Amino acid sequence: MIVRDALPGELEAAGDLRVTAFLADGLLDANPAYATTLRALGTGGRGEVLVAVDGDKLMGTIMLDSWHAGSEVARGREEAEIRGLAVAPEARGRGVATALIRAVVDRAARRGVRSLLLSTQPAMASARRVYAAEGFARRPDLDWEPVPGLTLLAYGRDLTA
């Protein structure tokens, strides 16, 4: 397995993988409209989409999103967000999420990002364990509610050390 930049022709497949993974875990139940956002991440020229591949098989994807006026939890230029971490259901348990997170942390650090942030649903227990193992800590001050009844939990990692 290698992690690399998504090729332009892979962005649609990465979006489909995100939606498939979220649907498999029931993570779109509270906000079905979010499927449109998941499919579109990285297609508008903003953000850096990475993919984990094994040969020609797409196993997972993640996006590094630098701070901008519409950021979900980043509050300034020295911060960036992880968006759309997803692993294909058949590729789970193979270290794909960890590899993607490490690649995005490395890329953010090389870009001079001081704090890397993300939002996750309470139901994403596996993802939260991986985030914690990779040095991310809860940031309850940044928790938010995109739709009534769905509170997203914020996590962050300081990249200055």
The answer, as to whether pTM is greater than 0.85, is yes
**In which region does residue 149 sit, left (phi positive, over 0), alpha (psi from -120 to 50) or beta (all else)?**
left
- Residue boundaries of the structural domains of the chain: 2-158
Predicted pLDDT at 44: 86
Q: Which of 67, 60, 152, 44 is nearest to 116 (CA)?
A: 67
Rounded to an integer, what distance in angstroms lies between the CA atom of residue 136 and that of residue 98?
12
Query: What is the chain written as a DSSP string?
Result: -EEEEPPGGGHHHHHHHHHHHHHHTTTTSS-TTHHHHHHHTTTTS-SEEEEEEETTEEEEEEEEEE--TT-SS--STTEEEEEEEEE-GGGTTSSHHHHHHHHHHHHHHHTT-SEEEEEE-TT-HHHHHHHHHTT-EE-GGG-EEEETTEEEEEEEEE---
List pLDDT tens digits, range 34-51. 999 999 999 988 899 999
Classify burial at 75, counting beta carbons within 10 Å of its beta carbon; exposed 0-12, middle 13-18, buried 19 or more: exposed
Amino acid identity, position 12: E
DSSP state of 11: H
Confidence (pLDDT) at 17:
97
Position 161 pLDDT exceeds 80: no
pLDDT band at 132 (very low <50, low <70, confident <90, very high): very high
**Residue 123: what pLDDT?**
84
* CATH, domain 2-158, list 3.90.245.10, 3.40.630.30, 3.40.50.300, 1.20.120.1200: 3.40.630.30
Say what the pLDDT of residue 126 is: 86
pLDDT band at 12 (very low <50, low <70, confident <90, very high): very high
User: What's the pLDDT tens digit per position in 66-118?
Assistant: 999 989 999 999 999 999 999 999 999 999 999 999 999 999 999 999 999 99
Distance of CA 127 to the CA centre of its chain: 10
Tell whether the model's pLDDT for residue 124 goes beyond 90: no
Q: What is the pLDDT of residues 143-155, one digit of tens each?
A: 999 888 889 999 9
Give the model's pLDDT for residue 31: 87
In this predicted structure, what is the pLDDT of residue 64?
97
Q: Per-residue pLDDT for 27 more than 90?
A: no
